[in-house]
Structure 1
Amino acid sequence: MRNSIEVNGLVVSIDNSGCIGTKEHDIVQVPNEVTAYFTARTAILEQLCAGAIPVQLLMANFSGDEVWSEYEQGFKRAFSEMGLGMPPLMGSSETNFQSLQSAVSLTMLGKKQFERNTDRCEFYVIGEPLVGNDVIENPHKIAQLNEVYEGLINGFIQVIWPTGSKGVGAEITRFTGECYTADVNLTDSAGPSCAVLAAVKKEHEETFLHSITAPVNKLIKVKE
């Protein structure tokens, strides 16, 4: 597991977003549904990394009760991409005070569905590191949630590993246990897991490469 934890048989993952939305002082101006989609997407990828499928959602909404339904629609969109219904959603909204900027946090509880390892696998980066407005302007460069999910379910992707604000390079060693490099920027923030590391069995490489529409780069082992 990357940033999720396991508690009493349930996998717990969380992601949050701040200063992104429709409020006047938000740094990135996008519909609240878009903010929620990418927040859910990251938390889902953490679940899939742990071999789990979400069964319950918990939202902490700091943007005001009036945007709850917009956030909910964004969450639904993420699950719909994978052909899944959204799990039950509960949580709380800040209604005592009006925040100047948007903020939302989403926790997911999931159940383990598969257990795999990276033995005899080749490693790839799906997508490119993007953050802020670059995420909105370059959707074709983002690892697609449905393609990653289908790859895991169909078995030609063995394991995935999301990347985030620390960059792709910081996650490669955590994922592989060895030193690799790749033909992508290794230090830039990957934002809401726009780039995802994947372990693929050699016999499934061709199927994998034909199934992914985002840019794909193979990890190259660094010679000692």
Structure 2
Amino acid sequence: MRNAVLLPNGFVLTTDNSAGIGEKEADLVHVSDEVVAYFATRVALMEQWAAGAHPISIVLHNFSGNKNWDKYVEGIKKLFGEIAQPCPEITGSTESNMETLQSAIAVTLIGKQKTDSAEKYTWYVYGKPCVGQEVMTESDKIADLKKIWESIKSGLVESVWPVGSTGIAEECKRLGLRCELQGWDIVKSAGPATTVLLGIAKNRIEEAKLHFGKYFEEIN
């Protein structure tokens, strides 16, 4: 498990934040606020799945101003629409007293753990590492959230482990895996979880290859 906090009674808290990315003139990366919220929520959702949980409530921390709130909410809703799931209730607060020069948000998800399967699995990497503007210009290479969710529901994927700024090699090390991948940059940042490590049931590997298609490869 990575950035998840386990609470009593099987509840799980995960969060991700973003600063200097958005629609303000002084932002370092200029993209829509909707996109910023989408990817922050994507990371937190991946962390929920890594903990064997799925979110039941969302807290949005908006430091960008009142006019940005609705755009952030739309980005969050878009993510859940992508996996054809109802968006949990969104609550939170906005910094409205002070005008900030750069955009900043945090998205926190509260989820409920499910019982893990005891079946052993084989680890695969899915989605190419992308960071910054690559997330937009090479979006066809990043892990498809809907495919991951479908595979979790069907039992095809037994475990999910998102890759962020530390890169594939470091996340494999945390899992105790020897990382051998030809043609992959295993030390590059994967930005907002554009790459994910998936534990696949051994008897469903061929099915998984067909399901995920491109940019899906066994780690060892």
Pair in the same fold by TM > 0.5: yes
Note closer, same or farther for the CA distance 1:93–1:67 as it changes in structure 2 (3 Å cut). Answer: same
Task: Tell me if structure 2 keeps the 8 A contact 1:55–1:87.
Answer: yes
Task: Tell me if structure 2 keeps the 8 A contact 1:57–1:107.
Answer: yes
Q: Percent identity?
A: 36
* 1:180 shift after superposition: 2.3
In the alignment, is residue 215 of structure 1 matched against residue 193 of structure 2?
A: no
What are the ranges of 5 or more consecutive residues in structure 1 without an aligned counterpart?
Answer: none
- Corresponding residue of 1:122: 122
Distance 1:128 1:118 in 2: 27
- Corresponding residue of 2:107: 106
- Corresponding residue of 1:73: 74
Note closer, same or farther for the CA distance 1:88–1:21 as it changes in structure 2 (3 Å cut). Answer: same
In the alignment, is residue 178 of structure 1 matched against residue 177 of structure 2?
A: yes
- Corresponding residue of 1:51: 52
* 1:97 shift after superposition: 1.1
- Corresponding residue of 2:64: 63
Distance 2:114 2:131 in 1: 31
Root-mean-square deviation over aligned CA pairs = 1.2
Structure 2: which amino acid aligns with 1:34?
A: V
In the alignment, is residue 151 of structure 1 matched against residue 151 of structure 2?
A: yes
Task: Tell me if structure 2 keeps the 8 A contact 1:118–1:199.
Answer: no
Note closer, same or farther for the CA distance 1:117–1:162 as it changes in structure 2 (3 Å cut). Answer: farther
Distance 2:153 2:84 in 1: 12
Structure 2: which amino acid aligns with 1:33?
A: E
* 1:74 shift after superposition: 0.3
Note closer, same or farther for the CA distance 1:117–1:133 as it changes in structure 2 (3 Å cut). Answer: farther
* 1:8 shift after superposition: 1.5
Structure 2: which amino acid aligns with 1:204?
A: R
In the alignment, is residue 85 of structure 1 matched against residue 52 of structure 2?
A: no
C-alpha distance after superposition, 1:130-188 (max 9, x if no partner): 1100000011110011101111110111101001011111101212x232222311111
Task: Tell me if structure 2 keeps the 8 A contact 1:117–1:159.
Answer: no
Distance 1:168 1:215 in 2: 13
Matched position secondary structure for 2:72: helix
Matched position secondary structure for 1:169: helix
Distance 1:137 1:209 in 2: 25
C-alpha distance after superposition, 1:105-136 (max 9, x if no partner): 001000113413572x2211100111100000
Distance 1:132 1:118 in 2: 37
* 1:214 shift after superposition: 4.3
Task: Tell me if structure 2 keeps the 8 A contact 1:118–1:159.
Answer: no
Distance 2:119 2:130 in 1: 26
Task: Tell me if structure 2 keeps the 8 A contact 1:130–1:191.
Answer: yes
Matched position secondary structure for 2:157: coil
Matched position secondary structure for 1:185: coil
Structure 2: which amino acid aligns with 1:55?
A: I
Distance 1:52 1:38 in 2: 19
4+ residue runs over 4 A deviation:
none
Distance 1:145 1:43 in 2: 12
Distance 2:214 2:70 in 1: 30
The count of aligned residue pairs is 218
